[in-house]
Amino acid sequence: MKKLLLFFLLFTLCLIQLHAQILFEENFEDGLVPDGWTVQSAATDGGWLVGSSASMSSQFFPITSNGSSGIAGTNDDNCNCDKSDEYFITPALDFSDQTAVVLSFDAFFTDDTYQGNAEDATIEVSTDGLNWTVLEDLHGHSSWDTHTIDLSEFGGE
């Protein structure tokens, strides 16, 4: 069973087998953190939130629409609180019957620096829930960007 540690700004998520079978999909359209997902945060606003690009935007961090009414994200400018250690973790995912798996998601991450502190966003995976491996370190973009990560090495687990 895998858990993916999602540590980046905003995203929609889809896990697919290479033959286009969708194994797991989340679009955040219902406005709630999905059942089974874990939010780890010290922020006063609850950390990772689910809403729209308009509701997640702030004066100094406007988030453009991605055409979806639901996104998950964390925005320290919106709450003026410490979001230096935010985690958004999927429920355990079973790839035991799969050989070729791909993670595909859209992200809006600008990779800004504020008062000398640089933002960082990573996608991580764990097979035991304790030890995490970075799969991708996201780079900043001024608009939504689609990411695809091959998870086939975890097929059969």
- A 10 A CB-CB count for 20 gives 7
pLDDT at 14: 54
Q: Look up the pTM and report it.
A: 0.83
| Contact indicator for 58, 77 with CB cutoff of 8 Å | yes
Span 128-156, pLDDT tens digits: 888 999 999 999 888 999 999 999 898 88
| List of long-range contacts for 114-120, beta carbons under 8 Å, 24+ apart | 117/84, 119/9, 120/7
Convert the pLDDT of each residue in 68-125 to its tens digit: 889 999 888 888 888 888 999 999 988 888 888 888 989 998 888 877 878 889 999 9
In this structure, the number of other CB atoms found within 10 A of the CB of residue 119 comes to 17
pLDDT (tens digit per residue) in 1-59: 344 444 443 444 555 555 557 888 888 999 999 999 999 998 999 899 999 999 988 88
Can you give the pLDDT at residue 7?
A: 41
Report phi then psi at 112, rounded to 5: -80, 170
- pLDDT score of 63 more than 80: yes
Query: Can you give the chain as a three-state secondary structure string?
Result: CEEEEEECCEEEEEEEECCCCEEEEECCCCCCCCCCCEEECCCCCCCCEEECHHHHCCCCCCCCCCCCCCEEECCHHHHCCCCCCCEEECCCECCCCCCCEEEEEEECCCCCEECCEECCCEEEEECCCCCCEEEEECCCCCCCEEEEEECHHHCCC
43-60 residue pLDDT tens? 999 899 999 999 988 888
